[in-house]
Structure 1
Amino acid sequence: MVLVPYPGTPRHQSVELQPIAAARVNTSALSNARQAVDMGYSWWEAAVTVAPMTIDDAREWRVFFGRLRGAVHSFRLPVTSAAQHDGSFIARANGAGGGYSLASDGWPVSTKVLLAGDFVTVGDQLMALDIDVDTDATGNATLQFHAPLRRSIADDTIIETKRPFLTAWLPEGAPALTLNSAQLQDGFSFAATEAY
């Protein structure tokens, strides 16, 4: 599979993210009592809505969808409309890690950098933060996540903190694109599923 570059002018009206938590649930037919087992992994589903655009911007989208070849290749979907912070630091994994937390370094010292509910991308995995990122006097911080990392992260892996992304594919293929009589591309929507 190829990682296809995302259009340089996203023109998103919205990016709707839904975390899918894998669980096995049994409900009693007699009492409606529930037993649930957390399967220990999850993924993201996304729905993207793109605004109407000029024919010049539409060409870039046509090329993008053509290169994806339907559900064959993957892309990096931006998940924030603006940068989450204005720093120029590069955070990295501090030692190999996995599970619901990750030691990291390279942050500004003694500050609150990101808030619970913000996103980071670690090793091409989009992760939602479960607690605020408060750094210590040496620029270290432990990241806590809502869901576990699906694979082990190597020491020194870059953590995208400013403009996190979802590595995704198109489960329904490319949307229909319609050029109207004013030579404008109508707005369109497409579904995306996390690729890993």
Structure 2
Amino acid sequence: MVSVTGLFDNYSDAQVAVDNLVQAGISHDDISVVASNADGSYDDRSSDTADAAGTGAGIGALVGSAGGLLTGLGVMAIPGVGPVVAAGWLAATAAGAAAGALAGGAAGGLIGALTDSGVPSEDAHVYAEGVRRGGTLVTARVTEGAEEDAARSILQNSNWVDIDQRRAAYADDGWTAFDEKADPFSPEEIEEERRRYAARIPPVL
């Protein structure tokens, strides 16, 4: 199995991606979502613990839910990112990695979970920073080859963030790497980030 990951600026785009992954035959158990909840928007629609984050049932709530993208997901805190709502195997790994980091482990939180799943370290830093700044990660475990290509195409066609362009945009502001010791973005800073990229035109495929 390999993992395919996409970063999304908007929850609605992430929901489309999850819907299409499921319609393509990828199991709920193999899809994970981690989304910023710095503004508390989803507190009343999420469970009180991170335990729910590791279940396929949480992903099931993403698909066709009248309540919105993140209904029924687990609430957790990730160092450097702040509060998130999450579901699936990556979220469970991130929770375990964060606990390990607090106990003296080498790699913690979201960076550790992403790199353990096969994401290159330089990309993992951009993904983690993207969630810190209000984004949503969708990650799917798939078989290598045709299913991998199909999953990547689904995420890209759902208006994923071009990771190289976003890395360059962050670097223009002096960013070099995700810092789990940094203060999480405030709701006001996240809103400013979302406005900054709202006019981004999806690439022509």
TM-score (norm 2): 0.24
Greater RCO (CA < 8 Å, at least 6 residues apart): 2
Q: Per residue, is there more helix in 1 or in 2?
A: 2
Q: Per residue, is there more strand in 1 or in 2?
A: 1
Larger radius of gyration: 1
